[in-house]
Amino acid sequence: MDSAVTSEPSGNPPETPGTPAAPADSPELSRPGYGRLLRTKGAWTFLLPGFAARQPFAMLTISIVLLVQHTTGSYGAAGAVAAVTGVSMALFAPLTGRLADRYGQGAVLLPGVLTHTLSGLALTALALADAPLWALFAAAVPTGASVPQIGPMVRARWAARLQGTPLMSTAAAFESVTDELTFVVGPLLATALCTTVDPAAGLLTEAALTLIGGLLFAAQKKSQPQVSAARHLRAAHGSALRVPGVRVLVVAFLGIGSVFGGMQVSLAAFSESIGEPGLNGVLYGVFAAGNMLAGIACGAIAWKSAPQHRLLVGYAALTLTASGLWAAHSVLVLAGLGLLVGMSIAPALITGYTLVDGLVPAGARTEAFTWLTGAVALGQAAAVTVAGQLEDRLWDGAGFLVPMGGTVLALVTLVSLRSRLATRPRGRTVARGVGHRAPVAVD
């Protein structure tokens, strides 16, 4: 028998301390399916509080806009305060993720939830007191910086339990659908509260849900990724952004954010230009429905192609469909294109999150997920600003050039740097025996 160092035969992924992983060929993990995913032991203990805790994230922007517009009478001031909150969140989210990888999710969530709640209450009080704009900006910074990164933390919990199994792609799809559902329910709830109860009710409810949901989620200690000495060393070695594949994915997710932001502004402008402002919600609903339907389908398919190849194909479809938006001049054509754009976004998002499992060591996954989430938020904030300027300065529908430009640039980056998306080898080192001759690098 040869003694060369090689990989283990295909079988169990490396075990996570405190959360033993099931074998990859286990019947429960070998085939994708939402039923199998939701039967994962302990999943519901973090899914339910996680859904409640991530709801405020979708309520925050619209709650700030409605409150500040009511107290100042200016949509410009309201949008500026909301933008400061969004940029602050995008910049600080990766730091939150890195600290969670180092010290555990609970250790980061507790102070973060309290800070966000107090900052949100302070922002509400300042707005109601007609404080100057600079004071609102000052309160918006910690409010955004302390937004709990529940979505990335839930994804990290799935990765710790399912790493190296086909169900990881199903989990990514499930989370994408959950995010989309959150962004449908959250703004509707916030708008209803602000318009029927009180202009401050949306932000106050957001703060309360953050506090209650965040504390309940943090209390689920058994399902959170364990922080071992080895993970601590790997996390301390450097940021997840040092992984070349993560940097490529960040660019891709900036492009996805440009679609969300450009669509929001441009659909509203289009509806206004034809004298039917109420169509805005319908058109955006069609776009969101396409995203949800494609996300559900992606999680139910047993994919045979490599995720990096699926990402390139999915992103090419997104770029193609987004590039036709600016030429649409009728409601039906725009609705049809919006549906196709939504259906193209889901595969790109899901595959990008799936790739993190193979690109990033376990001790840096939460940070990696927050980089991607922050990239979407940053791309969205930039797209809203640019698309608004284009709509004001050029022609009706010019804002749709933003999704086209953002996705084209991101696709060029993906194609040029596709080799960096190759996943890292897994496995422990064993003596090579008969039938196990493929050498691999050792973590």
Domains of the chain, start order: 37-429 (1.20.1250.20)
Buried/exposed 394-406: b ≥16 CB within 10 Å, e otherwise? eeebbbbbbbbbb
Q: What is the pLDDT of residue 424?
A: 58
Residue 303 is predicted with a pLDDT of 65
Helix (H) or strand (E) holding 433: none
Give the torsion through C-alpha atoms of 386, 391, 392, 393, to 10 deg.
Answer: 80
Q: Are 380 and 86 in contact (CB under 8 A)?
A: yes
Whether the model clears a pTM of 0.95, i.e. scores above it, the answer is no
> Which tokens sit at 384?
């809203």
Q: What is the DSSP string of 120-169?
A: HHHHHHHHHTT--HHHHHHHHHHHHHT---HHHHHHHHHHHHHTTSTHHH
Q: Which residues pair with 19 in a beta bridge?
A: 16
| Cα gap 117→139, rounded to integer Å | 12
User: Measuring CA to CA, which residue among 293, 296, 45, 20 is closest to residue 172?
Assistant: 296
pLDDT at 394: 73
Whether the Cβ atoms of residue 177 and residue 299 lie closer than 8 Å to each other: yes
Phi, psi of 395 (to 5 degrees): -110, 165
pLDDT in tens, the chain (443 residues): 343 333 333 333 443 444 444 444 444 444 556 777 777 777 777 888 888 788 777 788 778 877 887 888 776 677 778 778 878 887 888 788 778 877 888 888 889 899 999 999 999 999 999 899 999 999 999 998 888 888 878 877 877 777 667 677 777 777 777 776 776 677 777 777 887 888 899 899 999 988 988 888 888 877 777 765 445 545 445 667 677 777 888 888 888 888 887 777 777 777 777 776 666 667 777 777 777 777 777 666 666 767 777 888 888 888 888 888 877 777 788 888 888 888 888 888 888 877 877 777 766 767 777 788 778 878 877 777 777 777 777 777 778 888 888 889 989 888 888 777 776 554 443 333 333 333 444 33
List all residues 6 or more positions away from 269 whose beta carbon is below 8 Å from its beta carbon. 391, 396, 397, 399
82-137: pLDDT as tens digits: 778 878 887 888 788 778 877 888 888 889 899 999 999 999 999 999 899 999 99
CA distance 145 to 161: 29
Radius of gyration of the chain (CA): 22
Contact (Cβ atoms closer than 8 angstroms) between residue 133 and residue 80: yes
CB atoms closer than 10 angstroms to residue 233: 10
DSSP state of 238: -
Q: What is the pLDDT of residue 141?
A: 93
Q: How much is the pLDDT for 375? A: 83
pLDDT of the residue at 16: 41
Of 203, 103, 107, the closest CA to residue 148 belongs to: 107
For residue 57, the SS3 value is helix
3-state SS, residue 19? strand
pLDDT at residue number 143:
92
Quick one: three-class SS letters along 287-324?
A: HHHHHHHHHHHHHHCCCCCCHHHHHHHHHHHHHHHHCC
**Beta-bridge partner residues of 6:** 430
